[in-house]
């Protein structure tokens, strides 16, 4: 394993977990088994703000580590009851594919019952490898959005992210174009070609990182009828990383180390080091995408939504968008009380552990989106 994964990369992966979940509090081996001739140990890692599982495989003869993998703790909770805003008899789901070889992606169309033409929506994920449902912990943000909007006569296309399907093949040279932009534009093209779609009424809804990029996707896929920015970043990505670490109670040493690494990244001297598992080139590329500037050029309505319990995207992020788009027509910002980064209702101090509790995107979000996309249907 030492030859396949460098010490620096392992440190970067670990730093990413600490940045999200806070300091490690304790760990316990919960299971011992064997697979493919290797001894496998599964450990429960308890952090200040959540839990993860670590899987370590060891060669029984020489005790060399053959594999190391960190994953969310499988949820033992029952799924949340069906969302009241979803009416299964009002839509059907169809499996399609988007993109071109060698990166063809699976996708789901959620099509309202009826003849149409229907307004259409493409959903664009947040950061990291994401499936078409944007499964985060025990929740499926994009599935909720798709089925909620389809229940209101709006067709939705959601797709597996390239890094979710082909992550191992992409390597360190991946760009934001490769990760997001090319496939999002292909999704818009695929949706526009559907015979039941009103091609004049196609919208892009982006979440988190996808919200930052949604205006640029809209420009590349023009014409679009509007974009929705769900929890859009308004600060440089490394500032958001540090903000989250401070909020989650990372130690002064961990914060200082991250600040030093960020300083090297900004100076262009990070070299082969990684920030949260990604190389310097990726972070520089991401920071160069000016979402506010693109929204000014878009020439289409913009809706910005943020929940007050979102610790990942703060009020100052939304304030940057509000200031940057001031004076433009057809721009609306909505702050939703009690909702977190996944737009699920909760109470108390937010943190990543609550993502493991089954829930649904709040009905107020579906209402706001439907009013923006198809006011005549409301």
CA distance 129 to 45: 21
- 341 labelled catalytic: yes
Residue 15 has which token pair?
């730093």
Of 341, 356, 362, 364, which residue is the catalytic one? 341
Strand blocks (E) in the chain: 24-35, 38-47, 50-58, 65-72, 91-98, 105-112, 118-124, 135-136, 139-140, 155-159, 197-207, 226-230, 274-275, 278-279, 302-307, 331-336
- Its pTM stands at 0.84
**Pick from 59, 43, 40: which is nearest to 51 by CA?**
43
pLDDT tens digit sequence for 104-148: 999 999 999 998 899 999 999 999 889 999 999 889 999 999 999
Of 127, 208, 221, 364, which residue is the catalytic one? 208
- 208 labelled catalytic: yes
pLDDT tens digit sequence for 275-297: 888 899 999 999 999 999 999 99
| Structural domains in the chain plus CATH codes | 7-72 (no CATH), 88-231+290-377 (3.40.50.1820)
pLDDT tens digit sequence for 45-57: 877 666 777 878 7
Q: What local confidence, expressed as pLDDT, does residue 51 receive? A: 76
- 360 labelled catalytic: no
Of 133, 178, 310, 362, which residue is the catalytic one? 310
- Cβ atoms of 192 and 202 closer than 8 Å: yes
Q: What local confidence, expressed as pLDDT, does residue 77 receive? A: 57
pLDDT tens digit sequence for 57-116: 777 767 777 677 777 666 555 678 889 999 999 999 999 999 999 999 999 999 999 988
Edge-first strand order for the sheet with 118-124 is 91-98, 105-112, 155-159, 118-124, 197-207, 226-230, 302-307, 331-336
Q: What is the mean pLDDT of residues 195-224?
A: 97
């Amino acid at each position: 394993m030492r030859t396949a994964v460098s010490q620096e990369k392992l440190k970067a992966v670990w730093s990413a977990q600490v940045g999200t979940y806070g300091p490690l509090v304790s760990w316990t081996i919960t299971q011992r088994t064997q697979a493919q001739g290797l001894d496998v140990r599964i450990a429960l890692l308890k952090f200040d703000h959540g839990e993860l599982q670590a899987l370590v495989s060891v060669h029984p003869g020489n005790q060399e580590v053959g594999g190391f993998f960190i994953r969310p703790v499988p949820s033992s909770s029952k799924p949340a009851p069906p969302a009241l805003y979803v009416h299964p008899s009002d839509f059907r789901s169809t499996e399609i594919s988007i993109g071109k070889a060698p990166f063809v992606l699976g996708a789901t169309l959620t099509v309202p019952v009826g003849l149409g033409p229907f307004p259409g929506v493409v959903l664009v994920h947040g950061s990291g490898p994401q499936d078409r449902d944007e499964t985060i912990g025990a929740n499926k943000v994009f599935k909720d959005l798709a089925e909620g909007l389809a229940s209101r006569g709006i067709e939705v296309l959601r797709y597996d992210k390239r890094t979710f399907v082909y992550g191992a093949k992409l390597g360190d040279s991946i760009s934001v174009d490769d990760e997001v932009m090319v496939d999002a534009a292909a999704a818009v093209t695929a949706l526009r070609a559907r015979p039941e779609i009103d091609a004049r009424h196609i919208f892009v809804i982006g979440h988190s990182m996808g919200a930052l990029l949604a205006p640029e996707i809209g420009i590349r896929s023009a014409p679009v009828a509007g974009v929705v920015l769900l929890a859009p970043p308004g600060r440089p990505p490394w500032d958001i990383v540090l903000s989250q670490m401070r909020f989650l109670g990372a130690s002064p040493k961990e914060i200082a180390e991250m600040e030093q690494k960020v300083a090297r990244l900004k100076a262009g001297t990070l070299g082969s080091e990684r920030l949260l598992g990604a190389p310097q080139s990726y972070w520089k590329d991401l920071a160069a995408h000016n979402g506010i500037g693109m929204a000014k050029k878009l020439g289409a309505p913009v809706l910005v939504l943020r929940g007050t319990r979102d610790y990942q995207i703060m009020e100052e992020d939304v304030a940057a968008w509000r200031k940057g788009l001031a004076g433009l027509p057809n721009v609306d910002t909505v702050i939703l009380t009690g909702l977190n980064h996944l737009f699920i209702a909760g109470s108390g101090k937010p943190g990543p552990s609550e993502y493991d509790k089954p829930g649904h995107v709040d009905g107020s979000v579906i209402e706001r989106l439907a009013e923006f996309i198809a006011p005549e249907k409301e």
